[in-house]
Amino acid sequence: MPSGGKVSMTCAEFQKVLPYIIDSGGNVGEQEHLKTCPICADLVADLTYIADQAKLLVPMMDPNPRVWNGIKHSLEESGQVKRSATKSGVRGRLLESPTRSRWGPAAWLLPVAALVLVVIGLFLYRNRTNPDNSYSADQRVSPSATMTLVNSDGMGETQDEQLLLQLSEHVPSLRPAYEQNLRSVNSYIADARRSVQTDPDDEDAQEALMQAYQQKAVLYDMAAQESVP
């Protein structure tokens, strides 16, 4: 626990109390040590940075459909719901859709955008899972090429803006939710892309990038479904 107001303290003493003072800032002696000790200042900066980055982590992964099937099966088995009481075709949606409306003439762009995103994701995935059979090293899409593709065709911003514009016109109540989701997914794509660029052989980063693209495709798909009367 924080000690009294000792003015001079060692790094060992400071780091011993750090877990308890990192949020509050500590007493005069601890603050003084932090100001004058670059090692402890770096340590606190790193720990604070990690905590800040963790706050930005958002739930990005959907569970496998077998999870819902398992839930449904369990409820049916236990007699809590009648068999086939839930329509198998009913899909849970991530966003509220209090109203449905038709899209304007640009409606076709949405599924196309989603398709392109999925294709990019799948392309990277196939590169990862089957690099020898499907593509030679020269034929593989480099991360920078992917980034150029996504940026240069305006997928990153123009399409998003168009999507939000359409939502504003037809289902204004949905716009904030889509806006927030797009921000999250775009930021995740940017992070994943950076990781792939840093290390093109990093399989986790490629997987993350693919998932991020898929999430964006799902978002566009959901928006497209809003046009179903």
- The footprint of another protein (CB under 8 A) covers 1, 11-12, 15-16, 18-20, 22, 38-40, 42-43, 45-47, 49-51, 53-57, 59-64, 66-68, 70-71, 74-75, 80-81, 85-87, 90-100, 188, 191-192, 194-195, 198-199, 204-205, 208
Min separation Cβ 11 and another protein, Å: 5
What is the number of alpha carbons within 13 Å of residue 227 lying toward its C-beta? 18
Identify which of residues 35 and 93 has a Cβ nearer to another protein in the complex.
Answer: 93
Identify which of residues 134 and 151 has a Cβ nearer to another protein in the complex.
Answer: 151
Q: 3-class SS at 139? A: coil
Query: Which CA distances in Å does 49 have to 43, 54, 153, 160, 185?
Result: 10, 9, 34, 30, 21
Min separation Cβ 200 and another protein, Å: 10
Identify which of residues 4 and 59 has a Cβ nearer to another protein in the complex.
Answer: 59
**Closest-CA residue to 161 (of 212, 112, 225, 110):** 110
CA 212/CA 186 separation, integer angstroms? 8
Min separation Cβ 209 and another protein, Å: 8
